[in-house]
Amino acid sequence: MSDAPHLEIERLRARVADLEQELHVTKERLRFFVENMPAAFAMLDADMRYILASRRWLQDYGLEGQDIIGRSHYDIFPDLSDRWKEIHRRVLAGAFEEAEEDQWQRADGSTEWMSWKCYPWFKGDGAIGGLVFFTEVVTKRIQERMELEQSREQLRATVEEQERLIHAIREMSTPVVPIYDEIIVLPLVGSIDSRRSAQIMEALLNGIQHYAAEIAIIDITGVSVVDTSVANHLIQTTRAASLLGAHCVLVGISAEVAQAMVHLGIDLSTVVTRSNLQAGIEYALDRLGKQITTRASATTPDLLV
């Protein structure tokens, strides 16, 4: 009898053994690749039982130390909502599902945020064999973004509050006070620079318009330094007021300031000046044809007529 059939059988057995070895090596390579891939990956069959899962998947979902292969996804995650189960049904029917930022409410009350993709995988005959997950827990990123947005809102609110306070301080630093019909007083305190001079001019012009003033008294008693720059600012302010039909009176020039202005060669000849606020008010009343009189009774206040 010929040994040919026997030899053929041996060759086939050897080939099968080689194929099994190659298959084993391939499976081991695939398992090594999946387990060590940096993404959270899981492969499940059509009954939602685990076939493969990466270490990242086990880490992200608190499954380290557990053997989940062959176990049902729903047994491992009993708190999954019906929404997720419906997604799984759609994928097992051939759909491709994904979301960039999805909220997952856990049974213990905690909230996770995930970026995920869920696709079907196919057998050699083209039938759907199950599904695969690619997920990333992005809770930290979402929380950091929310904290950043909250910080921005707080900063924005702080800036708005500071702007409001600055505006209030500006109004307090340049208050326009009406003392009688057609007469307003602008008392100035502190130093005057180019920025504040613009505020002073704006406040005075707005006051003239608001109160329909004919006389504007600028009191610089509280101004610490009057130099060429400050004097020019004041002159420009009076000129701007004259364009609105108002007449300006500058009061409160002290002896020291007067001497300094003389040494600096500052010319205020075009501006009406008075020594103090009282003198300025008397000038304004006189210009408007009014005066202060006293009633016969000492208990009654002075009247303007």
Sorted by sequence, the CB contacts under 8 Å of residue 246 that are 6+ apart come out as 208, 213, 214, 215, 216
Q: Classify strands 111-122 and 128-137 as parallel, antiparallel or unpaired.
A: antiparallel
What is the pLDDT of the chain when averaged over all its residues? 82
Could you give the angle at the alpha carbon of 290 between the alpha carbons of 183 and 299, nearest 5°?
100
Query: Distance between CA 106 and CA 84 in Å, rounded?
Result: 13
232 band by pLDDT with thresholds 50, 70 and 90: confident
Query: Distance between CA 31 and CA 34 in Å, rounded?
Result: 5
What is the per-residue pLDDT across 40-60, written as a single tens digit (0 to 9) for each? Answer: 899 999 999 999 888 888 888
What is the per-residue pLDDT across 267-304, written as a single tens digit (0 to 9) for each? Answer: 777 788 898 989 999 999 988 888 777 666 555 555 55
Residue 305 pLDDT > 60: no
E strand or H helix at 269: none
24 band by pLDDT with thresholds 50, 70 and 90: low
> How many Cβ atoms sit within 10 Å of the Cβ of residue 170?
16
Q: Of 111 and 252, which is predicted with more confidence?
A: 252
Q: Maximum CA pair distance of the chain?
A: 159
For the chain, what percentages of helix, strand and coil (3-state, to nearest 5) are there? 45, 25, 30
Query: Distance between CA 199 and CA 173 in Å, rounded?
Result: 9
Domains (range + CATH), the chain: 37-137 (3.30.450.20), 174-304 (3.30.750.24)
User: The tokens of 94 are what?
Assistant: 């051939």
